Copies of this chain bind each other. A is one copy, B any other.
C-alpha cells in the first residue's frame, strides 16, 4: 500500500480500480486491527470473541477507505493514516452493536449475520460496544502525531465526532423520532449526525495524517459532510427498494418501525435527486486536490451506485 497508486487523471485511459483499492485497503486495515486488538482468546475470552465477531463480520471498511483515500489526496503516506482508519472503524462498529440492541433499533441481523446481542446476549453486547469504543481511543493515541496535528487534535476530533453532540445525538434523535411525524429538516439533523459526522471525521483524520494545510482540511470537511448525507439517503432508499437477502440485513425495517426516512418524507424520486445533488457537491469539494483525489472520487461515486 502506498500513496503512489496511479490516479485517474495521470492515466485517463485506465479508470480508477475501486474494487482493488477497497480490497487492498480492507486487507491492510484488517491486518492492523488484528495487531491492535487483544486476540480473541485473551481472558476473558467472551468479550474478545464478541469484539472480533462484530469487527470482522465482513464490513466494507468504507470509513477506513475514505480515511486512507483522504491521506493520499493530501499527498501523505497512507500508512501514517492506518491507526486513525482503524480507530474510526472501531467507533463505527461499536455504534452498530449498540444501535442493534433491543432497547434501540432491535435488529437481529447485520452484515448477513446474527447481531452481537443475539449471539452473546445483551450484557456482553453492551460491553463489547464499550470495549470497541475504548479501543478506538487506545488505537488513535498510537498514531505518529504530525507538525500541524498532535495526538491531542486527533483524540479531540474522534471524541467530538463520536460524542453527544454528533454521532450519539443522531442516534438519540433517531430513537425519539420513531413513530412520529418529523420534518425533512429534522431528518437531515439526524442523518448529519448519525452518518456525516463519522464520515467527515474519517476524511479529516486522513488529511491530518498527511499534515494537510487548513484549506485542505476544510475541503475534506465539506466533502465528508456531503458524501455522508448522500450515503445515508441511499441507505434509506435501499431499505425501501431491496430485499433482506440483497442487503444482508432486515429490509423494510424502517417502514415497519415507522422510522422516518427520506423516501417516506420527500418520496423516492426526490430522495434520489437529493442524493445525486449532494454527491455533485462532494465532487466539487475535491477540486483543490486536482489529480490526487481519484480514490475519493471513486468512493463518492460508489456511494451513489451501490446496491447494498
- Whether the pair B133, A141 counts as a contact (CB closer than 8 A) is no
- Whether the pair A169, B126 counts as a contact (CB closer than 8 A) is no
Which B residues are CB-close (under 8 A) to A164?
A: 38, 42, 47-48, 51, 131, 134-135
Which B residues are CB-close (under 8 A) to A130?
A: 94, 98, 129-130, 133, 168
- Whether the pair A171, B127 counts as a contact (CB closer than 8 A) is yes
- Whether the pair A131, B101 counts as a contact (CB closer than 8 A) is no
- Cβ-defined partner of A145 (8 Å) among B124, B152, B160: B152
- Whether the pair A163, B134 counts as a contact (CB closer than 8 A) is yes
Segment at the interface with B among A67-75, A172-180, A288-296 = A172-180
- Whether the pair B156, A134 counts as a contact (CB closer than 8 A) is no
Report if A12 contacts B (CB, 8 A).
no
Question: For chain A residues 7-59, which have a beta carbon within 8 Å of chain B?
Answer: 38, 42-44, 46-48, 51
- Whether the pair B152, A126 counts as a contact (CB closer than 8 A) is no
- Whether the pair A159, B172 counts as a contact (CB closer than 8 A) is no
Report if A240 contacts B (CB, 8 A).
no
Report if A137 contacts B (CB, 8 A).
yes
- Whether the pair B151, A134 counts as a contact (CB closer than 8 A) is no
Copies assembled = 2
Which B residues are CB-close (under 8 A) to A185?
A: none
- Whether the pair B155, A151 counts as a contact (CB closer than 8 A) is yes
Report if A104 contacts B (CB, 8 A).
yes
Which B residues are CB-close (under 8 A) to A248?
A: none
- Whether the pair B155, A126 counts as a contact (CB closer than 8 A) is no
Q: Which residue of B lies closest to A122 (CB)?
A: B103
Known: A168-B47, A169-B47. A156 touches B131 (CB 8 A): no
Give Cα distance in the complex from A164 to B94, angstroms: 13
Report if A113 contacts B (CB, 8 A).
no
Report if A138 contacts B (CB, 8 A).
yes
Q: Mark A117-158, 1 if CB is under 8 A from B, else 0.
A: 000011111110111011101101110010000111001101
Q: Which residue of B lies closest to A152 (CB)?
A: B151
Report if A162 contacts B (CB, 8 A).
yes
Question: For chain A residues 97-123, which have a beta carbon within 8 Å of chain B?
Answer: 98, 101, 103-104, 121-123
Report if A265 contacts B (CB, 8 A).
no
- Whether the pair A156, B142 counts as a contact (CB closer than 8 A) is yes
Q: Which residue of B lies closest to A42 (CB)?
A: B165
- Cβ-defined partner of A155 (8 Å) among B101, B131, B141, B168: B141
- Whether the pair A163, B131 counts as a contact (CB closer than 8 A) is yes
Q: What 4 A-B pairs have minimum CB-CB distances, sorted nearest first?
A: A103-B122, A138-B159, A131-B164, A141-B155
- Name 8 A/B residue pairs within 8 A (Cβ), A-sorted: A44-B176, A98-B126, A103-B123, A103-B125, A124-B175, A127-B171, A138-B155, A140-B155
